[in-house]
A = this chain, B = another copy of it.
Amino acid sequence: MPTPSRRERLRTATVAEIKDGARRLLVTGGVEAVSLRAIARDMGMTAPAIYRYFPSLEALVAALAGDLYDELRLRLEAARDDAGAEPVDQLLAMGRAFRSWSVAHPAEFGLMFGVRAPGLDAFVDDCVHPDHPGARFGAVFVQPIFDLWHRAPFPTPPAELLQERLGGRLEPLRLSHGEVPIEVAYALLSGWTRLYGLVAMEVFGQLAWAVTEAEALFELELAAFTAQLRADPPAAS
Evaluate contact between A126 and B205: CB separation under 8 angstroms: yes
**B113 adjacent to A204 (CB under 8 Å):** yes
- Name the segment of A37-45, A143-151, A188-196 touching the other chain: A188-196
A129, closest chain B residue (CB):
B209
A165's contact among B138, B176, B203, B219, by CB below 8 Å, is which? B219
Question: Which of B128, B190, B196, B224 interacts with A200 by CB under 8 Å?
Answer: B196
Q: Find out whether the CB atom of B221 lies under 8 angstroms from the CB atom of A172.
A: no
Contact yes or no, B115 A173, CB < 8 A: no
| A134 on interface, CB distance cutoff 8 Å | yes
Decide: A216 and B165 in contact? CB cutoff 8 A. Answer: yes
- Binary contact track A193-237/B, C-beta < 8 Å → 1, others 0: 111111011011111111111001101110110000000000000
Using CB atoms and an 8 Å cutoff, list the residues of chain A in contact with chain B: 29-33, 106-107, 109-110, 113-118, 122, 125-126, 128, 132, 134-135, 138, 157, 161-162, 165-166, 169-173, 176, 185-186, 188-190, 192-198, 200-201, 203-213, 216-217, 219-221, 223-224
